[in-house]
Amino acid sequence: MRKIYLIFAFLLLIPVAMEGQVEKYKAVFTLNFIRYIGWPEDARQGDFVIGVLNSSSVAKWIKSQSAGKKFGFQDVVVKEFSSVDEVEDCQVLYVSSKARFSKVADQLQGKLGNNSLIITEEEGATDFGSMINFVIRDEVLKFEIHNKNASDKGLQISSRLGNMSSAIVL
């Protein structure tokens, strides 16, 4: 009987461990995305700021992966925001599904600069202005790329990003 309880407890822990891995992959992907973006000159001034809205786990992973690193000549700085009201201008804004991008997209427009890359994890978020959106397809983490949303904000997404096996170009 004790073995059954141990097996049951182990099976309950697997989804928790897997979720942590998904958050880690999203953070690593986010850091790699910035290499494939054609940034305008004003985005290359000062610190390179990555904002994370409503996902302390993704923010933690991005911080640990970017600690002490630079993007070009810019220091990478990660800022956590728990509400839309706290959001400040940043080069990248990662919006978790908890923040419901479809509901807050209009509020974010006035808070972000013209050249901010918006990365989301909500089904249909590209319809509301997201440029890169994480999705699960056939139990695999993939990302949608919306080139028009990016170009409307003065950003160019490299075709090399769209050629990756995890990419879905819209």
Distance of alpha carbon 92 from alpha carbon 130, whole angstroms? 11
pLDDT tens digits, 40-67: 888 888 899 999 999 989 999 999 988 8
Distance of alpha carbon 47 from alpha carbon 43, whole angstroms? 9
**Token output for 23:** 């958050």
Distance of alpha carbon 33 from alpha carbon 39, whole angstroms? 12
Average pLDDT across the chain, whole number: 84
| Higher-confidence position of 30 and 12 | 30
**Token output for 16:** 């928790």
Kindly list the structural domains of the chain, giving each domain's residue range(s) and its CATH number in brackets, ordered by start: 20-169 (3.40.50)
- Predicted confidence band of residue 143 (pLDDT cuts 50, 70, 90): very high
Q: What DSSP string describes 64-81? A: HHHTT-EETTEEEEEEEE
pLDDT tens digits, 84-119: 999 998 999 999 998 889 888 888 887 887 889 999
- Predicted confidence band of residue 15 (pLDDT cuts 50, 70, 90): very low
Q: Model pTM?
A: 0.85
